[in-house]
Amino acid sequence: MKKLLLSLAAVATLSVTAFAANTQTGCGLGGQVIKSPNSAVMFALQATTNGTSGNQTFGITSGTSGCTKAKLVMNERASEFVASNMDILAKEISVGHGESLDTLAELLKVEDKAMFTASLQANYNKIYSSQSVEMADVLDNISATAL
């Protein structure tokens, strides 16, 4: 009963915005989760309690199903990581440092990380050659320039 009373007391205030649940990252850039409240009132009552962005599974299977495979890099985890982190990797490569970039270096078993990141930044346009580039291209380009 107490639970119910507390619940009712909180009703009007804990409503949640409707947001586009988009966890299909795809293989290219722009795979972020878009969260856009559908009205000013809902925005005001925004209360994300739990990141219910839809994907309630044990997501072990690769996020690259459907993505073209890289030709020069045969590394499942690296492929998965790049496919799901296309934008943040691009950003970090362009500034020359970052945690996702370090993670990629670890996955590719890079020995000289400093040289790796410097080389990637200098060759940014060869790696992210256009706005429609995909995971396979990025990995292959990284392999060609820095590995």
Which of positions 28-57 make contact with other proteins (CB under 8 A)? 29-30, 32-36, 42-57
- Tell me which of 72, 74, 115, 118 binds other proteins, using CB under 8 A: 118
Q: Give the range of 65-73, 89-97, 135-143 binding other proteins by CB under 8 A.
A: 89-97
Structure tokens at 35: 């969260």
The residue (of 51 and 111) whose beta carbon lies closer to other proteins is 51
How far is residue 102 CA from its own chain's centroid? 15
Nearer to other proteins by C-beta: 51 or 65? 51
Q: Containing H/E element for 9?
A: helix 2-10
Considering only 64-72, 80-88, 138-146, which stretch makes contact with other proteins by CB under 8 A? Answer: 80-88
SS3 for 59-120, per residue?
CCCCCCCCCCCCCCCCCHHHHHHHHHCHHHHHHHHHHCCCHHHHHHHHHCCCCCHHHHHHHH
Is residue 1 within the footprint of other proteins (CB under 8 A)? no
Site residues for other proteins, 54-73, by CB under 8 A, read 54-60
